[in-house]
Amino acid sequence: MTMSSFLYGANVRANGIRQHYLHYGGATGARATRDALIVLPGITSPAVTWGFVGERLGEQFDTYVLDIRGRGLSEAHDALDYSLDAQAADAIAFAVALGLERYAFVGHSMGARIAIRAARLGAPGLTRMVLIDPPVSGPGRRAYPAKLAWYVDSIRLCSAGADLDAMRTFCPSWTDEQLRLRAEWLHTCNERAVRASFDGFQTDDIHADIPAIEVPSLLIVAGRGDVVGAGDIEEISALNRRVEIARVPEAGHMIPWDDEAGFHAAFGTFLGAPLV
């Protein structure tokens, strides 16, 4: 039986708010020779729902899975700024607060957009990024394919109290374990935060940020998804030649849930050590 790489959950005050995170691996053994990882989840994914990915990453890297503001156990209230700039500033401040001198961002969906904006703003110690199926919507572009009601309805259902069967309507291909975890934690996603982030998918121009990325980056694309298309890949590649491309052919947008093995294989040795 493989030992867990999970170490602990904790809070840190950074960028003026409480930021909660889960820590995997630690800077010991071979991990001490590699850059740390900061995992930035998507719009309604508290850190705990990325625990299975954190476990795998933690086997090879000192790994921190962050609760984005307004999600999980990080600070959340209706007066909080939930803009992309605030989220990016959080990620930068988090690394500084933990004294991480060299680290990579691993961002999924909204988290990938946060990583892109943080890189443009200037993130001391950032060495590379993994951008997992980021929404490519924005001003003058096609809308993000998901609907806001999908998020809001499921959050309200879980806030009232819902079980895994209720979640199955929203995520029919997920396992019982995955659905149970989502049902348990989705109520921690602040509805105002989710609305603000969803609106930002349409108004924030990450394509203007991409040319400013100065670190090597890996774009992981869902082969069966509708978020990043072939034309989008070509455009991103033209905007920044540092961006490498990897595809997970059998996965939709929620790549690690759809094809966990394919997801981990897609990293190759980009981070300095393979995950498989």
Decide if 169 is inside a domain: no
In angstroms, the CA 16 to CA 93 distance is 9
Instruction: Classify residue 83 as left (phi > 0), alpha (psi -120 to 50) or beta.
Output: beta
Decide if 188 is inside a domain: no
Decide if 170 is inside a domain: no
Note whether 239 and 207 are within 8 A (CB): yes
CATH of the domain at 80: 3.40.50.1820
Decide if 228 is inside a domain: yes
DSSP letter assigned to residue 142: P
Q: β-strands 103-108, 36-40: how paired?
A: parallel
Decide if 189 is inside a domain: no
DSSP letter assigned to residue 173: T
Q: Which residues contact 29 (CB under 8 A, 6 or more apart)?
A: none
- For residue 276, the model assigns a pLDDT of 87
- For residue 1, the model assigns a pLDDT of 57
Nearest to 182 by CA among 148, 145, 157, 149: 157
Residues of the chain with pLDDT under 70: 1-2
Decide if 157 is inside a domain: no
Q: Which H or E run includes 247?
A: strand 243-248
Angle at the Cα of 14 (from 51 to 37), degrees rounded to 5? Answer: 40
Decide if 274 is inside a domain: no
Burial (CB count within 10 angstroms: exposed 0-12, middle 13-18, buried 19+), residue 171: middle
Decide if 251 is inside a domain: yes
In angstroms, the CA 204 to CA 200 distance is 5
pTM of this structure: 0.98
Q: How many independent structural domains does the chain possess?
A: 1
Angle at the Cα of 118 (from 276 to 243), degrees rounded to 5? Answer: 50
Structure tokens at 243: 């961006």
| Interval 218-266: pLDDT, tens | 999 999 999 999 999 999 999 999 999 999 999 999 999 999 999 999 9
Nearest to 254 by CA among 5, 36, 44, 39: 44
Q: Which domain holds residue 130?
A: 6-148+204-266
